[in-house]
Amino acid sequence: MAVDPLLKQAQGVWETLAAVPVSFPQGGGLNVVTSPSSQLAPPSWAGIVVLGDSAIVTAPTDRAAQVLHRVLARMPTSSLTSPEAVHAVLPANEVLGPAVLGYVSRDGFRLVPADRSVERLAPGHQDLMTLVRSAPPGDAGESGMDEITSAAFVVRKGADVAAAAGFQAWPAATAHLCVLTAPGERGRGLARQVASAAVAQALAEGLLPQWRARPMASRKVARALGFRELGSQLSLRLNQAELHLEG
């Protein structure tokens, strides 16, 4: 079977983030490892990432890893990032996700011409932060715009930033895309324009653009730029007391 280069590259990102040696199994299935320093999930949480037909799972303790492997190995890979399916078999106090993981290659990228002038701002610029503060807290947090390490690519409405995009530098030469549009300016194609500029910059720097999203509107923007949805991610805060009662 031919190897999908983009899928292989995406898997390498999350194998690096696992912070211990682990790989996505060839031919499907999952691998579970103990990794207290894993970046697949918040500290002390379990993280599940499915890419293609296989998955890797990181657990905060050996006991959690044992239970996760025993329980999750019985499930279809396609169900591993379903909150309902996981809740049914594991004692989880809290779940984050699922988030869909999209990636684009240089050949697959579709540049979106800008209808307005796209301006560059330094990360943390006051005009950018004004946009972040104007958005609902959930949207601002989801966007990650206050954590970008690249320049911000923005379009304005008058003096105000109406939409912005940039990226965070992640391990394994990855550019994690961040996009935010002012609430009153959505549905006008501005996200595509600024995101297109940010993706073009990431590719010019030799980075792998990654788009992680839950809302369908965000996923549609990514698809318009040529991103392929290759998998998904789920994080679990396990109930440790109940976990130890698992047989």
Distance CA 193, CA 104 (A): 16
SS3 assignment, position 142: helix
Q: What pLDDT digit, counting tens, does each position of 71-121 carry?
A: 999 999 999 999 999 989 998 899 999 999 999 999 999 998 877 799 999
Domain ranges of the chain: 5-100+231-243, 119-226
Beta-carbon neighbour count of residue 102 at 10 Å? 24
Identify whether the C-beta of residue 42 lies closer than 8 Å to the C-beta of residue 96: yes
Taking only the tens place, the pLDDT of each residue in 33-44 is 999 999 999 999
- Dihedral (CA of 128, 129, 134, 140) sign: positive
Report residue 145: phi and psi, to 5°.
Answer: -65, -25
Contact assessment for residue 71 and residue 56, using Cβ atoms and an 8 Å cutoff: no
Task: Decide: helix, strand or coil at residue 194.
Answer: helix
Residue 247 predicted with pLDDT over 50: no
Mean pLDDT of 58-64: 95
Annotate 32-94 with three-state secondary structure.
EEECCCCCCCCCCCEEEEEECCEEEEEECCHHHHHHHHHHHCCCCHHHCCCHHHHHCCCCEEE
Determine the Cα–Cα distance for residues 222 and 210; give it in Å rounded to an integer: 9
The pLDDT value given to residue 1 = 56
Element (H, E) at 175: strand 174-181
Name the band, by pLDDT with cuts 50, 70 and 90, for residue 243. low
What is the pLDDT confidence band of residue 179, given thresholds at 50, 70 and 90?
very high
CA distance 102 to 174: 12
Residue 71, Cβ neighbours under 10 Å: how many?
A: 14
Query: Taking the model in full, what pTM does it have?
Result: 0.92
Tell the CATH topology of 119-226. Answer: Aminopeptidase (3.40.630)
Q: What pLDDT score was predicted for residue 72?
A: 95
Residue 241's pLDDT is 65
